Amino acid sequence: MAFHLRSTVCKLCAASRSATARSQSNMASSEIRKALHPTTSIRLLSAVSVHDAEDDNTDLIDYESPLQELFDRMEAGGPTALGTTEYVPARTKLLKCGVAEEDLRFTTTHYGRLMLAPHVHPNEHRVTLKVPVDKFPFATDTDTGRLELDILRHIVGPRLNDEHAELRLTSSVFGSRIENKRHLVSMLDRIILSSQRLASEIQNQQNAEEDKK
């Protein structure tokens, strides 16, 4: 009988302790909710923002850029760090044939790694060069210029696309795109210079024949 009474008292004590813990937890949760009320949070954030804005304004007033001297020279119109006072455009680099490098367009295609050896697509290193016809150093409004263009057309054949008015050259000789690019530039130089040389020789031959007559 005493044993049953003792166990009943222990159960009642445990139940009262759990109830007390739950009530304390609920009270703490309510206090947290009150502390985190939206109005209170907004007030706190606004106070912090105002304080930060005041600090930022103070920093901006006291801040001095290390590039202030450069900005002053820009507003005054020079001189620059190179000692110039006027804009000087970059020099256009020309090939041996007279075509500007900026007029060249190179295209390549990446095929990804193959499963079988040598794991590289045969056309992986192929490079295509495209040059507009109007960028050639030919004076097409003269007989010599038209002759040069006609000779070039005979040299390159269908590589001169009349529909798009551009010359397309392709190279896959080397196992490197850089080397194929250099090969195409060298090929373009030789084609144009050869066309000009042959046109000049034909003109000289025609002039010599007219002089004999």
pLDDT of residue 17: 61
Q: What is the mean pLDDT of the chain?
A: 77
**Sheet hosting strand 105-108, strand order edge to edge:** 105-108, 127-132, 166-171, 160-161
| Structure-model confidence comparison of residues 119 and 72, the more confident one | 72
Q: Parallel, antiparallel, or unpaired: how do β-strands 160-161 and 127-132 relate?
A: unpaired
Q: Which amino acid is at 87?
A: Y
Cα torsion through 146, 152, 156, 162, rounded to 10: -20
Task: Give the CA distances from residue 170 to residues 96, 110, 156, 188, in Å, rounded to whole numbers and listed in that order.
Answer: 20, 15, 11, 11
pLDDT of residue 151: 95
What is the DSSP secondary-structure string of 64-90?
--TTHHHHHHHHHT---TTS--S--PP
> pLDDT, tens digit, for every residue of 100-120?
999 999 999 988 877 767 778
